[in-house]
């Protein structure tokens, strides 16, 4: 193999595919970037047996071939080369020579034959969605994904596609996030669960500044393929029984609140200043008389605040994990939010002022008498 290419383009591509390279493995090949020189381009792949990222870079190919090079070492070398072009060649012993000006590295690679084969996705109705829309929807749900859960299915986000609509759902046992949007989709009704790690990488790679850029999704029985901005991201899907989330959403509310989103966030943040990892406590909220009183007490002291709100219905005094409440409020993309309550022990719902494009559910924490 022998080629010459732009250093910056090669470096950026290597850094991005490195996101899928395994750092904890007994298989040396998956610690590397698979490089294939073919035609007039380099095809680069990182794959940790769960998620794979592939892209290509324009190059002057003198000899076709392929090799696996340690991802960490290769990325560091490329990052520190100041020259605009780089030359790479390898021999039958898988010794790679990297040259740029007076700089020269000799790096032992691994035979391309040892690289695991990436899965493929065939069939299914093509799904195309605005890049910015999918990024927003993931941002508004990923905070509710379980990070440590014996049920792996909750470490992903559930996608539900019906004619003309897409819905994302995440749940971790303490809170739930639902986001839906109208899209141009006319295929069969389908559901699938994508690991949150995969979606995080898709969002990071979807960096086009063009508003009309799209992400295409190909869904198979066990894998999903995302394509955006010159990158292909293939990932396994999660299997298992997902929560019947619709049954968890209260259908009525004894108290309805409309409140300024930013002011409520600021108030909860202020009263959370005395809450630390060592002084774990909760924030209590009293909804009555067109105001919300926010209060916290820890070993460090107490904090109290009050903000205006529009309230209809019964008085409610309710407690929350401050982080769970803040995560939900920060995910809201409206200036005002509608909060629906059914007493001190039922979940709180946070929604847009009108409609239900997003629904955030947070379980309360029972207040002690002295809270």
Which 3-state string (H, E, C) describes 77-89?
HHHHCCCCEEEEE
Please tell me the distance from the alpha carbon of residue 257 to that of residue 291, in angstroms, as a whole number.
Answer: 9
**Model confidence band, residue 125 (pLDDT cutoffs 50, 70, 90):** confident
141-171 pLDDT tens trace: 999 999 886 689 999 999 999 999 999 999 9
State both tokens at 369. Answer: 């008498």
Give me the pLDDT at residue 202, please: 96
45-54 pLDDT tens trace: 999 999 999 9
User: CATH classification of 2-114, choosing from 1.10.287.130, 3.20.20.70, 3.10.150.10, 3.40.50.620?
Assistant: 3.10.150.10
**Model confidence band, residue 279 (pLDDT cutoffs 50, 70, 90):** low
**Model confidence band, residue 71 (pLDDT cutoffs 50, 70, 90):** very high
Q: Tell me if the pTM is above 0.75.
A: yes
**Quick check: 19 pLDDT over 80?**
yes
Give me the pLDDT at residue 74, please: 98
User: What backbone phi and psi angles, to 5 degrees, belong to 134?
Assistant: -65, -40
**Model confidence band, residue 25 (pLDDT cutoffs 50, 70, 90):** confident
CB atoms within 10 A of CB 123: 8
Q: What value does the mean pLDDT take over residues 256-281?
A: 92
Whether 2-114 and 127-245 share one fold: the answer is yes
3 state SS of 290 = coil
**Model confidence band, residue 209 (pLDDT cutoffs 50, 70, 90):** low
167-201 pLDDT tens trace: 999 999 899 999 999 999 998 999 999 999 999 99
CB 296 within 8 A of CB 281: yes
CB atoms within 10 A of CB 283: 27
3 state SS of 328 = helix
CB 293 within 8 A of CB 311: no
Integer angstrom CA distances of residue 20 from 32, 195, 220, 260: 10, 13, 20, 40
Lowest mean pLDDT segment, chosen from 177-186, 233-242, 277-286: 277-286
What is the separation of C-alpha 113 from the centre of its chain, rounded to a whole number of angstroms? 32
Give me the pLDDT at residue 321, please: 94
332-351 pLDDT tens trace: 999 999 999 999 999 999 99
Q: What value does the mean pLDDT take over residues 79-89?
A: 96
Query: Nearest to residue 310, comparing CAs of 336, 271, 344?
Result: 336
CA atoms within 13 A on the CB side of 314: 9
CATH code at 127-245: 3.10.150.10
Query: To 5 degrees, how large is the angle CA 244–CA 250–CA 253?
Result: 175
- Domain limits of the chain? 2-114, 127-245, 249-362
Q: Which residues contact 30 (CB under 8 A, 6 or more apart)?
A: 21, 22, 47, 48, 49, 115, 116
The superfamily in CATH containing domain 249-362 is: DNA Polymerase III, subunit A, domain 2 (3.10.150.10)
CB 358 within 8 A of CB 138: no
CA dihedral of 160, 161, 163, 166, whole degrees rounded to 10: 80
* DSSP 8-state code for residue 92: T
């Amino acid at each position: 193999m022998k080629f010459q290419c732009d250093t910056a383009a090669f470096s950026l591509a290597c850094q991005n595919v490195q996101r899928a390279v395994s750092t904890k493995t007994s298989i040396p090949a998956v610690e590397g970037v698979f490089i294939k020189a073919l035609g007039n381009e380099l095809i680069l792949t990182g794959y940790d047996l769960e998620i794979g990222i592939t892209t290509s870079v324009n190059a002057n190919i003198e000899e076709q071939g392929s090799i696996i090079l340690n991802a960490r070492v290769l990325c560091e070398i490329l990052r520190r080369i100041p020259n605009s072009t780089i030359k790479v060649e390898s021999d039958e012993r898988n010794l790679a020579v990297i040259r740029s000006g007076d700089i020269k590295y000799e790096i032992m690679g691994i035979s391309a034959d040892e690289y695991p084969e990436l899965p493929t996705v065939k069939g299914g109705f093509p799904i195309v969605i605005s890049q910015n829309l999918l990024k927003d929807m993931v941002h508004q749900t990923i905070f509710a994904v379980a990070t440590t859960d014996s049920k792996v299915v909750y470490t992903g986000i559930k996608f539900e596609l019906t004619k003309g609509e897409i819905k994302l759902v995440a749940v971790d046992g303490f809170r739930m996030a639902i986001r839906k949007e109208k899209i141009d989709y006319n295929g069969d009704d389908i559901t699938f669960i994508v690991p949150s790690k995969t979606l995080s990488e898709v969002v990071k790679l979807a960096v086009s500044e063009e508003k009309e850029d799209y992400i295409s999704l190909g869904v198979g029985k066990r894998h999903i393929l995302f394509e955006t901005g010159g990158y292909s991201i293939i990932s396994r899907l999660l299997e298992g029984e997902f929560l019947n989330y619709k049954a968890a959403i209260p259908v009525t509310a004894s108290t309805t609140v409309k409140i300024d989103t930013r002011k409520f966030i600021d108030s909860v943040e202020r009263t959370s200043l005395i809450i630390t990892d060592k002084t774990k406590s909760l924030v209590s909220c009293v909804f009555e008389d067109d105001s919300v009183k926010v209060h916290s007490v820890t070993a460090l002291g107490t904090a109290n605040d009050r903000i205006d709100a529009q309230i209809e219905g019964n008085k409610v005094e309710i407690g929350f994990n401050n982080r769970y409440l803040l995560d939900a409020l920060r995910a809201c993309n409206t200036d005002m939010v509608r909060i629906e309550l059914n007493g001190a022990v039922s979940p709180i719902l946070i929604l847009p002022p009108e409609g239900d494009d997003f629904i955030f559910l947070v379980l309360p924490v029972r207040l002690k008498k002295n809270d």
